[in-house]
Amino acid sequence: MNVKSYLDSTYLKTPIQAGLSEDENNLVVDGFVEEAIAEGFKLIMIRPDRVKSAKQKIVAAHSKVSVGTVIGFPEGTYSLEDKLAEAQRAINDGVDDLDFVCNYEAFKKGDLQLVKKEILEGTKLGLANHKIVKWIIEVAALNGEQIIQLSALIKNVVIANFKEECYSSVFVKSSTGFYKTEAGLPNGATIPTIKMMIENASPLPVKAAGGVRTYEEAIEMIRLGVKRIGTSSAKAIASGQVANSDY
Say whether pLDDT at 240 is over 90.
Answer: no
Query: Average pLDDT for residues 194-210, to the nearest whole number?
Result: 97
Does the structure show a pLDDT above 80 at 246?
no
Q: What angle do CA 140, 120, 117 make, to 5 degrees?
A: 75
Is residue 243 one of the residues assigned to a domain?
no
Please indicate, yes or no, if residue 245 is contained in any of the structural domains. no
Task: Report d(CA 174, CA 179) in Å as an integer.
Answer: 11
Residue 172 forms part of a structural domain: yes
pLDDT of residue 130: 98
> Percent of the chain beyond pLDDT 90?
91
Q: Is residue 80 situated within a structural domain?
A: yes
Structural domain includes residue 54: yes
Give the predicted TM-score (pTM) of the model.
0.96
* Residues 97, 99, 154, 174, CA torsion sign: positive
Nearest to 207 by CA among 101, 126, 129: 101
**Residue 53 belongs to domain spanning:** 3-238
| Per-residue pLDDT reduced to its tens digit, 179-191 | 988 877 888 899 9
Catalytic residue set: 99, 173, 207
pLDDT for 135-155, tens place per residue? 999 999 999 999 999 999 999
Q: CATH number of the domain that 23 lies in?
A: 3.20.20.70
Q: What one-character DSSP code corresponds to residue 241? A: P
Identify whether 130 is part of a domain: yes
Instruction: Tell me whether residue 183 is in a domain.
Output: yes
How many domains does the structure of the chain reveal? 1
Does 115 reside within a domain? Answer: yes
In the structure, what pLDDT confidence band is assigned to residue 14 with cuts at 50, 70 and 90? very high
pLDDT at residue 181 in the model:
85
pLDDT tens track for 38-66: 999 999 999 999 999 999 999 999 999 99
